[in-house]
Amino acid sequence: MQITLLINLVYIVSAVMFIYGLKLLTSPVTARTGNFISAVGMFLAVVVTLVNGGIIDYKWIALGIIVGGLIGGLFARIVQMTQMPEMVALFNGFGGIASLLVGTATYHSLESYNLFIMTTLFLAVLIGGVTFSGSIIAWGKLSEVISGNPALFRGQTILNGSIFVVALMGGAFFIANPSDGYLTLIGIITLSLILGVLAVIPIGGADMPVVISLLNSYSGIAACAAGLAIENNILIVSGALVGASGIILTKVMCKAMNRSLYNVLFGGFGAVTRKTAVDFQGEVKPISPEDTYYILEAACSVVFVPGYGMAVAKAQHAVRELSDLLEENGAEVRYAIHPVAGRMPGHMNVLLAEADVPYDKLIEMKEINRSIAGIDVCLVVGANDIVNPAAREDTHSSIYGMPIIEVDRSKTVIVLKRSMATGFAGIDNRLFYKQNTRMLFGDAKSSIEAVISQFKTV
C-alpha cells in the first residue's frame, strides 16, 4: 500500500511538471526550460513505473535504453534543420506504433476481460495504427520519397468511410468476444494501417503543417487509450495532454490556412478543387545584390519574412548577419512569422533560434500586419503562398480567404527566390508583379551573402 501511494505521489509530481512544462513551451523564451522540466517529469515517471514492474526483465529494458539512446543521439547529430519536419512526423509515428504494441501485448497478457479494458485496448490499437502508417506517409511526402502531390481517386471518401465502419464493427466483435478475438485483432490492426495511408495520401505538401499537428494529437489520444487499458495514470495524463494540445494546435493551423477541421478529420482536406483564378497582368522587376544594398542601406525599418526556401538554402545564419549589419546602420529589424510557414508548426522559429535571433524580434502575423504599411522594406526569404495577395484579392483563387502576411502593403518588397516557380498551392504569386516588388533571383544564402559583402566593402 505504501509503495502504491508513493508511486501515485510521484505520478502527481510528474503530471504537474508536464503541465508546467507545457505552459513554458508557449513562449520561445522559456521553451527550452519547459522541455527540460517535462523531460525530468517523464524520467521520474519511468523510474517509479519500472520499480513497480515486478516481473519486468531489466535486461531488455537496459537493451532498449542503450539502443534507443544510440539511435536518438545519432539522429540528433546528423539530421539537418531542414529535415526536422520529417523527424517530427517519424516521432508521431513511433508514438502511434508504441501504443499499438502496448495494446496488443496487453491483450495477450490478460487473464480476464472486462468491457472497459477491451474498449480502450481497441482504441489504442486502432488510433495507434492510423497514426503510424499516416505518419510514415507524411514522412515520405515531406522527404520527397513519394510525391508530395495529393493522390486522389474516385470514391476515395466512401472507401475511407467504409474501412472505418468495418474497423468499428470488428472492434465491437472483438470487445464482445475477447477470448476468440485474436484474428479479429489482427484484422483491426491491418485496417488501421490501411486507413492511415488512405487518410494522408490525398493531402498535399502545402497542408503538411496541419497534418503533422493532427497526427501528433492522434499519437497522444492513442497513448491515453493505452494508459487506460493498462491502468497507468501517468500515461493517461501525458497522452491526454499531448492529444488536447495537438487538437488545439491543429485548430490554429486550420484557421491560419483557411481550412476546415471537418475536412481534416473526414478526408477532404488538401483536396480542394482548384478554381480558375482571374488573370493578373504585371511585369517582374529583377534586382541585383548591389541595388538591394542601396535600398536596405537607406531603410529605417526592415522586416524579414522567412519561408521554406530559407530552410532549403540554410540561409538563417546569413539572415542574422545581415540583420546585425542593418541594425548597426540604424535600421529597426524584425521577423514576421506566419503560423504555417515551412513544413511544420514553428519551423521558422526553430531555424531562427538556431541562428541566435532574439526571441523578442519574432513578430506574429496579426501584429506585423497592423504596422506593415509603415515598413520601409519587407525582405521575403523563400516564402510564397503565405505572402500571396491573391488570398485577399482574387475570390476565384484556391487560397482566397487564407490569412497572409500583407507585405505588398509595405513601401518596398524584395523577394529572394530561385525562380518564378509556384509554391505548395501551385498558383502564381501576384506579389511578384506588384509595382513595389523587386525580385532578387538566386539561392537565398548566396544572395544575402552578396548583399552582406556590399555592406562590408562599400
**Residues forming the active site:** 385
Rounded Cα distance between 13 and 41, Å, is 7
d(CA 159, CA 216): 24
Dump the DSSP string for 221-236: HHHHHHHHHHT-HHHH
Please say whether the beta carbons of 34 and 23 come within 8 A: yes
Q: How far apart are CA 97 and CA 215, in angstroms?
A: 12
CB atoms within 10 A of CB 420: 11
Could you tell me if 23 and 245 are in contact, meaning their C-beta atoms sit under 8 angstroms apart?
A: no
DSSP string, 120-149: HHHHHHHHHHHHHHHHHHHHHHHTTSS--S
Residue 89's H or E segment, with its range, is: helix 84-109
Output the CA–CA distances (angstroms, integers) from residue 350 to 32, 82, 113, 266, 355, in the order listed.
Answer: 11, 10, 47, 31, 9
**Cα–Cα distance, 291 to 122 (Å, whole number):** 64
For residue 303, list its beta bridge partners.
334, 378
Question: Are the beta carbons of 372 and 409 closer than 8 angstroms?
Answer: yes
